[in-house]
């Protein structure tokens, strides 16, 4: 009691300062806030870069041939197959052919392929595919979508080859009538008479 009387008439007690609790809480939340902002920025960056990179399915023959930045890089490129350049060595499983540049944007794939193959001024690129059986769709005016690298010799060495042949996939529309099996038979054929009487 002597101590409490010496300090005055107030009893000994500790009081929590009003500002220190708020300051400590804010100090504890600050690293979480900064970490959250960093994580959100990283996610936004990954989404944006993935969208930009994935926006183009392939690059053009012009870009691969004329831009030295693509030399030696793994790229996916599309071009129109020039049919009379196709060679296949069944013993070595080696396919070679030439593709012509097709524009990046087009309304009609078949027309774009036809124009590219027929254009003597179109940029062309020799393609080599090793260890592969010749695909049935590798033919004149097919669209070749290839993944590989452009060699120093100017030849594109494809590790993957996908083909689209628009003439094989023409959908029946209002201008195309569905053909019944009997309508293709000659008039005197016995099956044609059976179908008519059914």
Q: Which of 71, 101, 97 is nearest to 84 (CA)?
A: 97
What is the homologous superfamily of the domain 59-168 according to CATH?
A: Nucleic acid-binding proteins (2.40.50.140)
What distance in Å separates the CA atoms of residue 40 and residue 34, rounded to the nearest whole number?
10
> Hey, how many other C-beta atoms are within 10 angstroms of the C-beta on 165?
19
Query: Would you say the pTM of this structure is higher than 0.85?
Result: no
3-state secondary structure labels for all residues of 100-140: ECCCCCCCCHHHHHHHHHHCCCCCEEEEEEECCCCCCCCCC
Predicted confidence pLDDT, tens digits, the chain (198 residues): 455 455 556 667 776 665 555 666 677 788 888 999 999 999 988 887 765 555 557 899 999 999 988 888 899 999 999 999 999 999 999 999 999 999 988 888 889 999 999 999 999 999 999 999 999 999 999 999 999 999 999 999 999 999 988 766 544 444 433 333 343 434 444 444 444 444
């Amino acid at each position: 009691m002597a101590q409490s009387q010496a300090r005055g008439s107030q009893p000994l007690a500790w009081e929590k300062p009003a500002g220190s609790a708020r300051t400590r809480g804010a100090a504890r939340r600050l690293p979480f806030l900064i970490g959250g902002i960093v994580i959100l920025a990283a996610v936004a960056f990954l989404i944006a870069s993935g969208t930009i990179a994935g926006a183009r399915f392939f690059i053009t023959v012009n870009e691969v041939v004329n831009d030295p930045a693509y030399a030696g890089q793994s790229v996916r490129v599309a071009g129109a197959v020039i049919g009379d350049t196709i060679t296949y060595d069944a013993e070595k499983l080696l396919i070679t052919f030439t593709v012509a540049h097709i524009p990046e944007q087009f309304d009609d794939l078949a027309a774009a392929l036809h124009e590219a193959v027929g254009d003597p001024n179109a940029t062309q690129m020799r393609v080599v595919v090793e260890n592969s059986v010749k695909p049935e769709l590798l033919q004149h005016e097919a669209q070749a979508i290839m993944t590989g690298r452009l060699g120093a010799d100017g030849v594109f060495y494809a590790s993957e080859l996908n083909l689209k042949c628009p003439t094989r996939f023409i959908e029946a529309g209002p201008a195309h009538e569905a053909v019944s099996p009997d309508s293709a038979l000659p008039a005197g054929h016995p099956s044609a008479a059976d179908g008519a009487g059914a």
